[in-house]
Chains A and B, each alone.
Chain A
Amino acid sequence: MGRWPSSRTWVLGIAVLSFVVCCVLPVASLFLEILHRPAAITSELLLDARRRGLLSNTVVLGLGAALGASLIGIPLGVLLGRVAFPAKGLIRIALAAPAFIPPYVMALAWVYLANGFTLMNRDVASGWIHSLPAAVIVLALVFYPLSMLATEVAIRRVDGRLEEAGLTVARPGQVLLRITLPLVAPVTLAAALLIFVMAISEFGVPGLLRVRVYTTEVFTAFAALYDVARAVVLTLPLLALCAIVAAAAAALLGDRVVASRRTISIQPRLAERWRTPGILFALLIIAGALVAPLLVLGEQAAGADSLAAVLAGSTSAIANSLVLAAVGATLVVAVAIWLGYFRARTSHGGHAADIIFLVLFAIPSTVLGVGLIGLWNKPGLPGAVYDSSSMFVIGYLARFVPVAALILAASTRYVPLAHEEAAAVGGAHWMRTVSRIVLPQMRLGIAAVWLVVFVLAFGELGVSILVAPPGEATLPIRIYTMIANTPPSHVAVFALLQTAIVLIGVAALGILASSLRIR
């Protein structure tokens, strides 16, 4: 007689099925669609001058953003990881905040800033802002927190005794350059690769700054020219580039993707000499990447006649965004907890799972949007789903389950396996062990992931703008479509509103992070 599957099998099965349907099938269906168009593939692979320009812009955007973000982020990571100074927690939150503000909001602020910038009564920046170098700078200022946080976490994990062994013969600066930084190099390089992927996947910034890259071309082909076939084939080079670079990042990181070694107590202060210039640099970055854009948006918003009049007609989009982001974050966490748990506790194929998660996370939002449309825009039940606002939530699941699973896998590893084994030996079955022993110890990590996903979903544009059913809109879609035909003051009000909600989330994350450290 066959045995009824255990609760563990059921949970794993449902989690994997959800993951496959939401995250894998859209990409797989896109591949199948591409394979059905061999002629189009051939023509796309024969790079003419136009396509070469597109590819070169995309690569330069990615490389520039990765380099710029690393040049800003690595010194800041060293500062946060190795220098003691007052109000460090607050400065860390302010430095990390730009990563959570939707990139197109930052780009919008920079457009306003450039339009208002004159030198001896001459407009010198409004033309320049709509250029590739400007897009590189904006994206570097948006993504540097990833490099910063990766460097800080890696540097905190360096065994202080290795540095002390160097300190007996070498100056702190030499130890930092020759021992500490080489040890964290794989992590900083992987962060740079991920920034490269995220920059070439970004749609809002190049779209707003009118820089022609693959993501904007996919959107134009699909939404403006209604050329689905071209949109599908255009995703191929972008898909390949993202997959290769994300896989390289995963390979570089190895098991560090979900490693969770606790901080080692000995942490020599190697960069004390650079304390003052470091703090000044941090304040300069906060001013440039956070304060200046917000002030510009504030100045623009102050020109609006009445806040109520501006918001009238958009309240449903705001409420929609909040509800959808909350539902999306809850479902993403509900699926990712189990994927993360099984990833953390598996000894076989774990690294392959990391690569899959990272590659799927790296899929550009507009590419994923095209894949979702191909999968769900069909007669019958899929069509009914496609015509509803559930598509937004499915889009959030597709975009954020992979990264949430990776973070929750790391969180699971904080719970010693021995705790589970002790419960099992004591007679507790698997579900009881997980729900009573593991999840309670992960509660702060779970709450943090929920907040991160909520903030990201609240600002999501690339997938949402493609899968939005008729008459339905979220706040990011509303802002993006208002830019062309609404006074800047009105757009700025919405952008500020969006930023305010995001910053509340970031502040909550900061408080949670402090609680985690206290534990």
Chain B
Amino acid sequence: MTPLLSLTHVAKRLGSHQAVDDVSFDVANGEAVAILGPSGSGKTTLLRLIAGLDTPDRGEISIDGVRVAADGRSIVPPYERRIGFVFQDLALWPHMTVQQQLEFVLGSLKVARSVWRARINDALTLVRIEHLASRYPHQLSGGEQQRAALARTLAGQPRLILLDEPLASLDSELRAHLRQELASLQRSLAVTSVYVTHDRDDAAVIADRVLSMRAGTLVTI
């Protein structure tokens, strides 16, 4: 069966630093993979390459059997890859309410307006913030912002979700709580995901499979 995500000998240099070096791995449909590694090991760069925000210098990236980047060039732009990205600092747009953020995603993906309400309600209900739809990011707590970022990603119904240490800025209690929620959400939706973290507990709870990364290379699979 074709893996949903496939990376073959992917490499990326940032200035004089080899951020990602000859990385290859596959992610099956519905699988949750965690990439575990210390700061500066190239985890975030790897996610950016998969999302199309950066282009690999070498190697090939395929999604659902379609090459999206190869031979040092981007073939499919990020907005056509149908990928959801939860950023480390969440990147919630400060001038939009939670609902407007979801509407922007649906509008950009050209989803029919008739289903917007249902899609927005579903996404907000899934992360249990349906009562916060009219709030701006600065009116939300850390945990609520976290859920809003997740809802924004889920609203687009991506085929692959990339999560870049989304729990990093939270206190340990909230982090443990949200970790469990994320894991159960992942299992109930059976969505394919790549979760980047430096926290072993996060990786163990959320992922079906854990990859370890050091100095730009995968050390164990």
The answer to whether A164 has its CB under 8 Å from any CB of chain B is: yes
- Cross-interface CB contact of A168 among B78, B93, B94, B95, cutoff 8 Å: B78
> Which B residue's beta carbon lies closest to that of A159?
B91
**Nearest-neighbor residue (CB-CB) of B153 within chain A:** A168
B103 to chain A minimum Cβ distance, whole angstroms, is: 10
Asked if A334 is at the interface of the complex by the 8 Å CB criterion, the answer is: no
How many inter-chain residue pairs (CB < 8 Å) link A and B? 55
As a 0/1 sequence over residues 159 to 182 of chain A, the CB contacts with chain B under 8 angstroms (1 = contact) are: 101101111111100100011001
Whether the Cβ atoms of B89 and A168 lie closer than 8 Å is no
With a cutoff of 8 Å between Cβ atoms, the chain A residues found around residue B108 in the complex are 166, 169-171, 174
- Given the contacts A170-B79, A170-B108, A165 and B156 also touching, CB distance less than 8 Å: no
B85 interfacial by beta-carbon distance below 8 Å: yes
For the complex, is B28 an interface residue (Cβ under 8 Å from A)? Answer: no
Contact B95 A165 (CB under 8 A): no
Question: Residues of B contacting A268 with CB < 8 Å?
Answer: 53
Contact B104 A166 (CB under 8 A): yes
Q: Let me know if A183 is at the binding interface, CB within 8 A.
A: yes
CA distance A159 to B93 in the complex (A): 10
Closest to A161 in B: B91
Which chain B residues lie closer than 8 Å to A164 at the CB level? 53, 85, 87, 91
Chain A contact-residue range equals: 10 to 19
B156 contacts across to A, CB distance below 8 A: 169
Interface residues on B, range: 20 to 34
Specify which of A171, A174, A179 is in contact with B93 (CB 8 Å cutoff): A179
Q: Which of B44-67 contact A (CB under 8 A)?
A: 51-53
Taking the closest CB of chain A, its distance from the CB of B147, in whole angstroms, is 15
Contacting residues, chain A, for B91 (C-beta < 8 A)? 159, 161-162, 164-165
- Given the interface pairs A159-B91, A182-B95, A183-B95, the reply to whether A167 lies near B53 with Cβ below 8 Å is yes
Report the separation of the CA atoms of residues A216 and B53 in the bound assembly, to the nearest whole angstrom.
Answer: 55
Q: Are A169 and B105 touching (Cβ within 8 A)?
A: yes
Which of B78, B89, B92 sits near A167, CB closer than 8 Å?
Answer: B78
Q: How far is B77's CA from A165's CA once the two chains are assembled, in angstroms?
A: 13
Contacts of B51 in A (CB 8 A): 168
CA distance A264 to B105 in the complex (A): 24
Chain A residue nearest to B88 in the complex (CB)? A161
- Nearest-neighbor residue (CB-CB) of A186 within chain B: B95
Residue B83, interface by CB 8 Å: yes
Chain B, residues 98-129, CB within 8 Å of chain A (1/0): the string is 00000011001100000000000000000000
User: What per-residue 1/0 map shows which CB atoms of A19-57 lie under 8 Å from chain B?
Assistant: 000000000000000000000000000000000000000
Chain A: interface secondary structure?
Answer: helix
Q: How far, in angstroms, from A169 to B156 measured CA to CA in the complex?
A: 8
Q: Is B84 an interface residue (CB 8 A)?
A: yes
Write the nearest CB–CB distance from A291 to chain B, whole angstroms.
Answer: 38
Give, as a whole number of angstroms, the nearest-CB distance from A178 to chain B.
6
Q: How far is the CB of A315 from chain B (nearest CB, A)?
A: 55
Q: How far is the CA of A174 from the CA of B104 in the complex (A)?
A: 10
Contact B93 A165 (CB under 8 A): yes
Cα–Cα distance between A183 and B53 once the two chains are bound (Å): 21
Q: Which B residues touch A162, using CB under 8 A?
A: 91-94
Contact status B87-A169, CB under 8 Å: no
- Contact across chains for B84 and A166 when beta carbons are under 8 A apart: no
**Residues 22 to 61 of chain B near chain A (Cβ within 8 Å):** 51-53
Per the bound structure, the CA–CA distance linking A255 and B29 in Å amounts to: 48
Q: Which residues of A contact B79 (CB under 8 A)?
A: 167-171
Q: A166 contacts B87, CB within 8 Å?
A: no
Q: Which residues of A contact B104 (CB under 8 A)?
A: 166, 169-170, 178-179
- A168 to B52 CA separation, bound complex (whole angstroms): 8
Most buried by B among A159, A162, A169, A171: A169
Q: How far is the CA of A178 from the CA of B105 in the complex (A)?
A: 11
Q: Which of A179-221 contact B (CB under 8 A)?
A: 179, 182-183
0 or 1 for each of B132-170: is its CB under 8 Å from A? (1 = yes): 000000000000000000001000100000000000000
| CA–CA, A169 and B51, complex, Å | 10
One of B84, B89, B152 near A161 (C-beta < 8 A): B89
Task: Compute how far the CA of A351 lies from the CA of B152 in the bound complex, rounded to whole angstroms.
Answer: 35
- Tell me which of A162, A167, A168, A171 has the highest count of chain B C-beta atoms within 10 A of its own C-beta: A168
Chain B nearest CB, measured from A179 CB (Å):
6
Contacts of A168 in B (CB 8 A): 51-53, 78-79, 81, 83-85
Residues in A whose Cβ lies below 8 Å from that of B77: 171
Q: List the B residue with the shortest CB-CB distance to A174.
A: B108
- Spell out B's residues near A (CB within 8 Å): 51-53, 77-79, 81, 83-85, 87, 89, 91-95, 104-105, 108-109, 152, 156
CB<8 Å pairs between A and B, sample of 8: A162-B91, A169-B79, A169-B109, A170-B104, A171-B108, A178-B104, A183-B93, A268-B53
Shortest 6 CB-CB contacts between residues of A and residues of B? A170-B108, A165-B91, A161-B91, A169-B108, A168-B85, A182-B95
* Apart from A164-B53, A179-B104, 14 more pairs, CB < 8 Å: A161-B89, A162-B92, A162-B93, A165-B85, A165-B91, A166-B93, A166-B104, A168-B52, A168-B79, A168-B84, A169-B104, A169-B109, A171-B79, A174-B108
